[in-house]
Chain A
Amino acid sequence: MATPRSAYVLQKVCTWPYCNAMTVRSENKITINFINRDGEKLTVKGSPGDSLLDVVIDQNLDIDGFGACEGTLACSTCHLIFDEDVYKQLGPVTDEEMDMLDLAYGLSDTSRLGCQICLTKSLEGMTARVPEGVSDMRQSDLGTTSSSS
């Protein structure tokens, strides 16, 4: 089914400064693994410069509710958790990404928003874990146990 489009903003934003240079497509695909909520491992390939959200959409990965705002840094449904060594290679986090990340349930020290991560060769073979129990996010906007939000 073709995606219907309305007049709403459709632009994706990526706040990683090197990202633009990476949009040049290459034949050198990068293999990445996603661990879904139920523990299932999904191994797919993406092109350098693609964001992890692009990969999820392109490969039609069945991750519930992933990417609700379509990569515009207005949700946090693309929250992913990385291994420490991979996390270090992901590039700097902007304040804007951190702001949305702070609302994600299950926030960890190696959390990032998938729509802000661009694939590079050095990420070959990496693993990204979809946090479990996202439904508990309802407890609070702030990821704490506030009674008011």
Chain B
Amino acid sequence: MNTSRVFAFKPMKSLLTTKCSRAAITSGLRRLACTPSSCPRVCIVGGGPAGFYTAQHILKAHPAIQVDIYERLPIPYGLVRFGVAPDHPEVKNVINTFTQTAQHERCSYHGNVSVGKDVSVEELRQAYHAVVLSYGAEVNRTLGVPGENLAGVYSAKDFVGWYNGVPCNKDLKPDLSGETAVILGQGNVALDVARILLSPHDILTNTDITQPSLEALANSRVRRVLIVGRRGPLQVACTIKEIREMVNLTGTRPDMLSADFKGIAEVLKDLPRPRKRLTELMMKAVQATPAGDGLTSRQWGFRFLRSPVEVLPSPDLTRTAGIRLGVNRLEGSGDGARAVPTGETEDIECEMVISSIGYQSLPIDPAVPFDPRKAIIPNAMGRVLQATGLYCSGWIKRGPTGVIGTTMNDSFDTARALIQDIETGVLDISTVKPGSQTVTPLLQKRGVNPVSFSDWEKIDVEEMKRGTVVGKPREKLLDVTEMLKTAHS
């Protein structure tokens, strides 16, 4: 942003010490009666934005509740660390507020605890008055087409995990020796991946991208990225900021097909402002597409009304050589339009296919209800159906869409529901619950050594130290064993 102005840095005041809600004041009586051992105890499963925002609101709205956050990885913050693109550091400013929450006197962070494996949800329910499930969406939806398992096909989730330092993706080593990459799906994740693939090296060097992926990308031969959607230009799922970043990406040019936008100009005026501006920006990219198909500079483009049918193998059947796409037409209009196959197909040569058709949540524990069709925990305003004392927030509550702001609002909603249940007596807090006093010994007995927030801060310091050496804000540790060693040093 060349027009940006930099302001003198002024620390944000704590967002947690603001005045209590009216609800909290009316429960003041309970506060007086509450000693640390008898206070209401809530635990949160998952230390991503949903977990932290739910904790933040519970702590603010109730003067006595103790909140414990259990996170599978030693490291907190979920997709803010492992999803948000390295060239979007400003998005990660939310970490400052999460840190305040974690350091709140009534909050404790317990990293390196995998709920469902190290401790069951039932055990947590025994130990706490309420359990909030905020464990996100951990897998990529599968394409379900032949060739999906060929070398050269990657899920966006793994690819993102690779450049962002998710421990289990560190050995992905994607093959970047081909010229063309096809990304399936047109959401913001698809655009993140396209941008990382095409960004000039110097844009990434001073970000927190992992060093191995930075080096691999520096040697990448990928010059053309096609972002393929099953519906039309008026249905793209990505947002305008991300398209603008593509349009403005140094050293690249758009590669769009003007035919895809036939008739769009006529409907523009009837679109709501956000959709209209987004579509106009894409049309600008169409105009900026040079004639001819010479591959002069790095280029990116959208392809519409195409669904994956098959990933095509190389002659020796060992790796990806192309993709067969089914041609669709639209039925209906606007956001709700459906893609209907015409029966025609079209092949595109490409050496790499990245499937970015969305994330998906998995059931965590047989004791927790799960809707297999929507892949969410069935809930009403965050109250898990038919399970008093169980709540959910974030992507596991509403599915794997929405920006951090969306997740924040739905987490506040869940927190409000929980507080309301305490106030109306739906949630019985009259019994004393031991909280981590019983969970921690249980974990130790099972050989699990939790990482506290101050343990994580040791990792944080170490990463920033390593970053300084290479001119980055941080160099992420990529190995859980090394994280634990640093945390417990």
Contacts and interface: CB of A to CB of B under 8 A. Distances in A.
Contact of B273 (A10, A62, A102): A102
A127 interface: no
B209 to A, nearest CB: 14
A5 B96 contact: yes
B18 A60 contact: yes
Interface stretch (A11-19, A27-35, A83-91): A11-19
A71 interface: yes
B408 A6 contact: no
A100 B11 contact: no
Contacts of B474: 7
5 contacts: A14-B4, A57-B10, A60-B13, A73-B1, A144-B335
Interface residues of A, number: 63
Interface of A: 1-17, 19-20, 23, 51, 54, 57-58, 60-62, 64-65, 67-77, 94-96, 98-100, 102-103, 107, 134-135, 137-138, 140-149
Q: Identify whether the interface residues of A are mostly helix, strand, loop, or mixed.
A: loop
B467 interface: yes
Nearest to A10: B9
A71 B412 contact: no
Nearest to B9: A10
Contacts of A75: 91, 403-405
Given A17-B3, A99-B241, A148-B235, A57 B90 contact: no
A123 B297 CA distance: 49
A107 B273 contact: yes
**Chain B contact residues: helix, strand, loop or mixed:** helix
A19 B11 CA distance: 19
A68 B97 contact: yes
B409 A12 contact: no
A6 B99 contact: yes
A25 to B, nearest CB: 11
B237 A146 contact: yes
Contacts of B274: 102-103, 107, 142-144
Nearest to A63: B18
A99 B13 contact: no
A3 to B, nearest CB: 4
Contacts of B460: 6
Contact of B100 (A4, A23, A61, A147): A4
